Every structure is written in structure tokens, then in C-alpha cells.
Amino acid sequence: MLPAPPCAIVIFGASGDLVRRKLIPAIYELARQGLLNERAYVLGFARTPLDDDHFRAGCHDSLLAHARTRPIDEQVWRKLAARMHYASADYSSSEDYARVSALLNALDERYDTGGNRLYYLATPPAQFEPIIQHLGEKLRLRDALHPPAPEDGAFRRIILEKPFGRDLSSAHELNRVLHRHFREEQIFRIDHYLGKETVQNLMVMRFANSIFEPIWNYKYIDHVQITVAEDIGVGARGGYYDSAGALRDIVQNHMLQLMALVAMEPPVSLDAISVRDEKVKVYRSVRPIRAGAVGAFAVRGQYGPGECRGATTPGYLREKDVNPASRTETFAALKLFVDNWRWSGTPFYLRTGKFLPQKLTEIVVRFRSPPLTLFQKQCEAPVYPNDLLVRVQPDEGISLRLNGKVPGGQLNIRSVAMDFRYSSVFNAESPDSYERLIHDAMMGDQTLFIRADEAEAAWAVVDPIEKGWSEDKAPPHTYEPCTWGPKAAMDLIEADARRWLHGDNQPEPIIACSL
Ligand code: BG6
């Protein structure tokens, strides 16, 4: 990667958890690798009163706890810390914006950034609109609406954390507010899953190899499964989570992105426009679920009291900041169809949940069983279909399950795996997704960010399900922590004579055949 140009990184919501756990460690890591320009600086912006020294001390603590490479390099940190500043201000006060604006101008000059600015909105979403308005009005961003004059080629970009709206109409409204002040080329909507190495590798796997494309369609693929499982509960985020739920928190963004990368047509080029055009087409091809038919395509669940991997929970309804009568789902399983020529009739099963038995993000592409063969006739059971497993996390890698003969005089068949693991092949740890995404935003590359129409098209997939659930009188199914969700989720897939698959399933039994 090339070092990024000089710029101001202005973080709104700088005292929050995301900033401590992800953004500061990512910025430090970029600095450590020489990818952060020496003329770049950070201005943290939040309501909490702090001075620069306390802000820096807090950032140092975050690095001690969350830096990807530890021990931290104190020399790199000292150089970075000297360029980290903090302004405490009220997001809704015009006077405060005027003060921050003056501070930014002075810092731009001190560090000679050329006026480049990256505004990072890491605040709760309710604050997005007032901040965008103020940025537009008080920080004189109106000029950004017009192509920059050659003598003032400075960039002004804005990164927005998810959630981007809570349904189609709020996302549309947020886009409208954004577009009043920023051109789409200046807007970087984050989905941190797109920064994950394995997710990026999906495109390489599909389009840089010729063996997949001919069979990547309904003729050879029986179905696709996508799992995003977490082994923790909502923790301290009950307030946010209770107004979101699994569908908004994970499915609308991370899971639909994964699905789009599996289902999309080859883009005409790898530029941001072409790639995102193809993803939007996938969303637009998803068969809408009628509100009255939601039960046949979607299952929701809520974890009850119990224990998982040493963590105990009183159950979702008794978590901190959660409404005790809440119907918010902590688990969702869906069956979707992409109604286009390639995927005609091929189900995509998606499931996600909190307090499942393990942290696992995985895509399984199950191929159709071989046609009736010798083996089918002479074996005690049908041979196994092939599976292509893309493990996004942990143990990033790709594995292909094949049938193999067990050595010996008998004809016994076993399912075996050809494995490619990132850690052993490349012998290097993958960068954190925020490193990649912040660097891309500084470079102006939007490929791994969500475009306005893409966000809206993804909401259009999810909205009818939300609506169906809100009209449904039955509450979500309860499931025990450390299980794979409610029984209804098994029924959803088993009704189609299929079952949920995942990397840690028990090995399939050996099939004995007669010679
Ligand atoms: C976030 C969700 O977007 O993704 C969280 O808001 C979730 O609820 C997190 O825990 C999972 O991310 P990752 O990278 O750990 O899979």
C-alpha cells in the first residue's frame, strides 16, 4: 500500500468505545507501517471535557489493550501522539462549531495538510444529521459541492459508521441530507466486513480463477449458507441493540454484503463504480418477502438465561438497557432467493445470532450431488455433495470438501477437505479491517464502502421482514445460550430436506461400498 496523503482526521464521538477499540489502534498501525503521512493529524471531537494530554493518555491505554501488534512501538506512538488533539464541544452548538473550525484551520496550517480533511462520524446515529448539517454550514463545505478548483485540490471526505438509517425511508432521508452538503464521491459509508481480508478474497477467488465460474450457478450449486455467529451477548450495548436487533445490526449490512459478493456477476472492472453496480443488482434481484409470508422465510429468536463459554446471562430481556417486554431479535435465520438467470431457484440461507456456540463467520456453497453413478448404486448411502467453505473468521481460509477413498482393500468413501489457511500459507496476520478502510478513505478509494443506492437497496430487502415481524403477534422464539438458535431455525432449512452446515460439524461417517 502507498502512504496516504497528508490530512486531518477529525473524529466525532472520540470518547466512544469504537474509537478506543478500533480507530485509534488502526491509526497507530498505519503510522507504524509508514502508511500514515507524517503531516497527518488527528482531532478528537466529543462532548466529554478532556484536554489533549488526557485524550492522548486514553489513546495510549487503548493501544495497550487493543493494538494489533504488541508491545507497542513507543517511538512511533510518541511521534503520533504529538499530532493528536482534542476539542470538547457540543454537536448542536453553532458557537462550538465555529471554535472547532478555527482550531482546524490553525492545525491545518501547522501541519501543512493542504486543507485535506477526513471527517469520521463515530457517534450514535441520532447525531449524524445535526453533525452533517453543521459540517455543511459552519465548516464552509458548500464549496465541496462544486468540483475543486485546480489551485484548491484539497479533499473533504466524510466517513459514516453504521447503522446507516433504520429502514429504507430513514436511509433515504439520511442520503438526502448528506447529498445536500457532500457529493457521493466524498461519502464513505462503512461496513467493516468489507475491510476483512477473506471478504476481499471472495472476489479474487471467484474472478481470478477460471475453475469456479462455469459451475457458479443454479445448475451446479444446490444452495448457499451464510453464518455470522457470535458467542457473546449484547453486553453493554443493550440500549443501541434493543432498537436495532440482529436483522438491522448484522443482516442488512454484513450478511447482505457477503451474499452480494457470492452472487454478483463479474464486474467490468475493479473500480468502485463497476463493483458496486453489480452488488446493487443482486439486492434488486432478491425476491421480496410478502409481509404475510414472513413466517415461511424468516425466523427470529431471543436468547434466554444461561451460560456460554464461561459467560452467564440473565437472558436478553434482563440485560442492561433492554426493555423487559422487548421483541427485538438476537437471532435471525432467513431463506432468500436471488431471482436472476444465474441463481434461479437456488436458496440462500442466512443465519446470525448472539450467544451461539462459537464465534464464526462462514460461507458454505453446497454443490449438487453427483448424478446417479456407480457409487450411488454400490454404496450403502449416497456419496457426499461437494462443499466450498469460505471461512471469514476465525482461521481465515478456504476449504473444498471432496469424496476420497479410505486407503485399504475395501472401497470405503470419506469426505475429505483440501484446505487453504491464511495463517499457514502467508505466515502473516491479516490487518484489521479498519486499517484498510481508513487508509482507503484517505486515498479516496470507495470500492470497499457502501454507495447510497446500495444502502437503500439493502434496506429494501430487509424492510418487508421487519414489517412482517412487527405485525406478528407471536414473540420471537427463545433459545438457550450456546445453542445454534431456536428449533424453528432448524425447521426452516430442514423443511427443504437440507441442514445447517458449518466448519465444526462432526466428520461425516465413512460410506462403505461393495467392490
Ligand atoms: C458490528 C455489530 O457491526 O459487528 C456488532 O454492531 C457485532 O453487534 C460486530 O458484534 C461483529 O463484528 P466482527 O468483526 O467481530 O464479526
As given in the structure block, the three cell numbers for residue 396 are 481465515
Q: Which helix (H) or strand (E) holds 434?
A: helix 433-443
pLDDT-derived band of residue 375, with 50, 70 and 90 as boundaries? confident
Residue to mutate, 194, 232, 249, 328, ligand 1, most ligand atoms under 8 Å from C-beta:
249
Alpha carbon nearest to ligand 1 atom 2, residue: 249
Model confidence at 139: pLDDT above 70: no
* Backbone CA torsion sign across 396, 489, 499, 259: negative
Terminal-residue alpha carbon distance, the chain: 56
User: Distance from the CA of 139 to the center of ligand 1, in angstroms?
Assistant: 32
State residue 138's pLDDT score: 63
User: Distance from the CA of 148 to the center of ligand 1, in angstroms?
Assistant: 37
User: Distance from the CA of 246 to the center of ligand 1, in angstroms?
Assistant: 10
pLDDT-derived band of residue 257, with 50, 70 and 90 as boundaries? very high
Letter for the amino acid at 413?
A: I
Using CB distances shorter than 6 Å, the residues near ligand 1 are 162, 230, 249, 361
User: How confident is the model over 356-374, as a mean pLDDT?
Assistant: 90
Is the pTM higher than 0.85?
A: yes
Q: Which helix (H) or strand (E) holds 175?
A: helix 168-181
State residue 142's pLDDT score: 42
User: How confident is the model over 72-82, as a mean pLDDT?
Assistant: 97
Atom of ligand 1 nearest to the CA of 193: 14
Question: Distance between alpha carbon 26 and the CA centroid of its chain, in Å?
Answer: 16
User: Distance from the CA of 434 to the center of ligand 1, in angstroms?
Assistant: 13
| Residues forming the active site | 254
Model confidence at 334: pLDDT above 90: yes
Alpha carbon nearest to ligand 1 atom 6, residue: 249
Q: What is the mean pLDDT of the chain?
A: 92
Q: What is the spatial distance between Cα 369 and Cα 219, in angstroms, rounded to a whole number?
A: 11
Q: pLDDT tens digits, residue range 176-229? A: 999 999 999 999 999 999 999 999 999 999 999 999 999 999 999 999 999 999
Residue to mutate, 250, 257, 360, ligand 1, most ligand atoms under 8 Å from C-beta:
250
Q: pLDDT tens digits, residue range 266-299? A: 999 999 999 999 999 999 999 999 878 999 999 9
User: How confident is the model over 87-112, as a mean pLDDT?
Assistant: 91
Alpha carbon nearest to ligand 1 atom 9, residue: 250
Number of CB atoms found within 10 A of residue 124's CB = 13
Percent of the chain with pLDDT over 90: 81
pLDDT-derived band of residue 378, with 50, 70 and 90 as boundaries? confident
Atom of ligand 1 nearest to the CA of 361: 16
- Comparing C-alpha atoms, which of 137, 139, 171 is closest to residue 156? 139
Least confident of 21-30, 404-413, 426-435, 436-445: 426-435
Burial class from Cβ neighbours inside 10 Å (0-12, 13-18, 19+) for residue 480 reads middle
Atom of ligand 1 nearest to the CA of 196: 14
Atom of ligand 1 nearest to the CA of 237: 8
User: Distance from the CA of 248 to the center of ligand 1, in angstroms?
Assistant: 12
> Which of the pair, 385 or 503, is modelled with greater confidence?
385
State residue 140's pLDDT score: 56
Q: Are 232 and 311 in contact (CB under 8 A)?
A: yes
Model confidence at 145: pLDDT above 50: no
Question: Distance between alpha carbon 478 and the CA centroid of its chain, in Å?
Answer: 26
Listed in sequence order, the residues at least 6 apart from 106 whose beta carbon sits closer than 8 Å to its beta carbon are none
Question: Rounded to the nearest 10 degrees, how much is the dihedral formed by the CA atoms of 53, 24, 180, 171?
Answer: -130
| Pairing mode, strands 360-367 and 511-513 | unpaired
Letter for the amino acid at 163?
A: P
